[in-house]
């Protein structure tokens, strides 16, 4: 359902019509990236009522068990450990795998990939990505290995799979553990098989902004029985029964309300994909003709959830930088995002780790200056997408004029 309405002044006829320069915003209300997909409300409310009637709100309740079972069936994996969020799930999986010392991660990812490591006293070593896939480049990973390296965490950025074969081969050669941060990748495949079954374990996020959400939530999926057993203990303080702690642990549990939301969302899986796919096709059709604006592709041979519409802006062709475009869009109430700017290696908390990391991360630096993520999902409609694309087209056609005007030269 659409929440933002177009004002009567759009489209823009001249640069002066842009909200950046005092014109009326194209949208009366803010259009966000990451608006949650909400499934059938009645089904959700019925589940929440059941939960309240049962007075069983958390601690491995029936909805959590059903959610874990359904995820296993859906993905084709033996174990699913539902958790309170993906960050804690990454931490638990990292401890269960006994990673220590250094772990190789991309810098072009959400902060949680790295912070899950540093939180455990592990040094996240930032490796560059492939400019086409936006994912870890196995050849570069191999060059970052030191005697302290114990593991690699590949991130399936935007739900597009890592080069899993390449990373598996590097991990095998160097006896490293390989795990995947599949936060974006629920329902996406690699060589025809759904992500979730690769490496030692994979971690989904079910945060509100993700394709499938449980309000807050995440899960580790694995085919490793021993690892799953350990993580089940770890996510519940290490309890093996009342008053009996047999393993170090924390509180990583998913609650029943979250699982109820997840079960409800799963029932709408196909319609969420259909909506995202329709939006993706429309963005492609309307943005592809604009020089310097490249919408990233999802491989038609694979399954994708199309949750992210990602455009790379080449300022040499648009005449306007990604950041200038974002300022322009925000003024029009289109809250496009610059994931994953500036790259974790440039974030205040991580700069001291490797002050010169940028020298080894040229693709990351380029991407984090070019990428913009645009609104999609079940809360935007095709008129709104058309208007967003029209704004981007207008911006690129008037790039130099906009730039001069911003600099006060016009």
Please give the residue ranges that form the binding site for ligand T4K (CB under 6 A).
Answer: 32-36, 85-87, 109-110, 112-113, 155, 181, 183-184, 205, 207-209, 218, 339
**What's CA 298's distance to the chain center, in Å?**
15
Smallest distance, Å, CB 241 to ligand T4K? Answer: 29
Token representation of residue 144 = 């970052």
Q: Which is nearer to ligand T4K, 164 or 402 (CB)?
A: 164
Smallest distance, Å, CB 254 to ligand T4K? Answer: 11
Judge whether 264 and 251 are in contact, CB under 8 Å: no
Q: Which is nearer to ligand T4K, 177 or 398 (CB)?
A: 177
Q: Which is nearer to ligand T4K, 199 or 399 (CB)?
A: 199
Residue burial 347-358, b: 16+ Cβ < 10 Å; e: rest: beebeebbeebb
Smallest distance, Å, CB 156 to ligand T4K? Answer: 8
Angle at 34 between CA 92 and CA 273, to 5 degrees: 90
Smallest distance, Å, CB 117 to ligand T4K? Answer: 12
Smallest distance, Å, CB 213 to ligand T4K? Answer: 8
Q: Which is nearer to ligand T4K, 36 or 238 (CB)?
A: 36
Beta strands in 213-256 (DSSP E): 218-222
Pairwise CA distance, residues 385 & 27, whole Å: 11
Q: Which is nearer to ligand T4K, 12 or 184 (CB)?
A: 184
Question: Is the peptide bond preceding residue 11 cis, with omega within 30 degrees of 0?
Answer: yes
Which residue is closest to ligand T4K by CB?
A: 34
Q: Which is nearer to ligand T4K, 185 or 389 (CB)?
A: 185
Beta strands in 172-308 (DSSP E): 177-181, 189-190, 193-194, 201-205, 218-222, 293-295
Smallest distance, Å, CB 160 to ligand T4K? Answer: 12
Pairwise CA distance, residues 312 & 257, whole Å: 38
* Residue 399, CA distances (Å) to 231, 333, 403 in order: 52, 19, 6
Q: Which is nearer to ligand T4K, 86 or 389 (CB)?
A: 86
Q: Which residues lie below 8 Å from residue 51, measured CB to CB, with a gap of 6+?
A: 57, 61, 63, 256, 257, 260
Pairwise CA distance, residues 204 & 219, whole Å: 5
32: three-class secondary structure by DSSP? strand
Smallest distance, Å, CB 10 to ligand T4K? Answer: 22
Smallest distance, Å, CB 331 to ligand T4K? Answer: 16
Q: Which is nearer to ligand T4K, 124 or 399 (CB)?
A: 124
Number of residues that make up the chain? 410
Token representation of residue 262 = 């997840």
């Amino acid at each position: 359902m659409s929440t933002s309405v177009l004002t009567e002044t759009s489209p823009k006829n001249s640069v002066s019509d842009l909200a950046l320069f005092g014109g009326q915003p194209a949208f009366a209300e803010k259009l966000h990236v990451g608006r949650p997909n909400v499934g059938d409300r009645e089904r959700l409310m019925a589940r929440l009522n059941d939960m309240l009637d049962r007075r069983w709100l958390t601690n491995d309740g029936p909805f959590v068990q059903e959610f874990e079972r359904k995820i296993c069936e859906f993905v084709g994996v033996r174990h699913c450990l539902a958790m309170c969020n993906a960050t804690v799930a990454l931490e638990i999986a990292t401890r269960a795998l006994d990673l220590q010392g250094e772990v190789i991660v991309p810098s072009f990812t959400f902060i949680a990939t790295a912070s899950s490591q540093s939180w455990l006293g592990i040094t996240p070593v930032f490796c560059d990505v492939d400019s086409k896939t936006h994912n870890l480049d196995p050849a570069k990973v191999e060059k970052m290995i030191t005697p302290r390296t114990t593991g690699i965490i590949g991130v399936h950025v935007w739900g597009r799979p890592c080069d899993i074969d390449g990373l598996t081969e590097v991990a095998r050669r160097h006896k490293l553990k390989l795990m995947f941060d599949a936060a974006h990748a629920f329902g996406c495949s690699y060589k025809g098989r759904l992500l979730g079954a690769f490496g030692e374990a994979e971690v989904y996020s079910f945060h509100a902004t993700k394709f499938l959400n449980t309000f807050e939530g995440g899960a580790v999926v694995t085919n490793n029985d021993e690892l799953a057993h350990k993580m089940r203990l770890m996510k519940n303080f290490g309890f093996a029964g009342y008053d009996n702690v047999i393993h170090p642990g924390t509180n990583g549990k998913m609650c029943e309300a979250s699982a109820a939301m997840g079960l409800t969302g799963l029932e709408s899986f196909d319609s969420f994909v259909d909506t995202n796919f329709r939006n993706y096709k429309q963005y492609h059709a309307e943005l592809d003709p604009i020089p310097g604006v490249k919408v990233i592709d999802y491989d038609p041979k694979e399954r994708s959830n199309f949750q992210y519409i990602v455009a790379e802006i080449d300022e040499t062709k648009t005449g306007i930088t990604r950041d200038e475009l974002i300022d322009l869009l925000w003024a029009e109430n289109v809250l496009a995002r610059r994931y994953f700017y500036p790259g974790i290696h440039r974030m205040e908390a991580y700069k001291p780790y490797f002050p010169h990391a940028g020298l080894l991360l040229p693709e990351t630096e380029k991407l984090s200056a070019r990428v913009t993520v645009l609104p999609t999902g079940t809360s935007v409609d095709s008129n709104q997408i058309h208007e967003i694309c029209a704004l981007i087209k207008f911006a690129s056609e008037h790039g130099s004029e906009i730039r001069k005007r911003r600099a006060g030269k016009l």
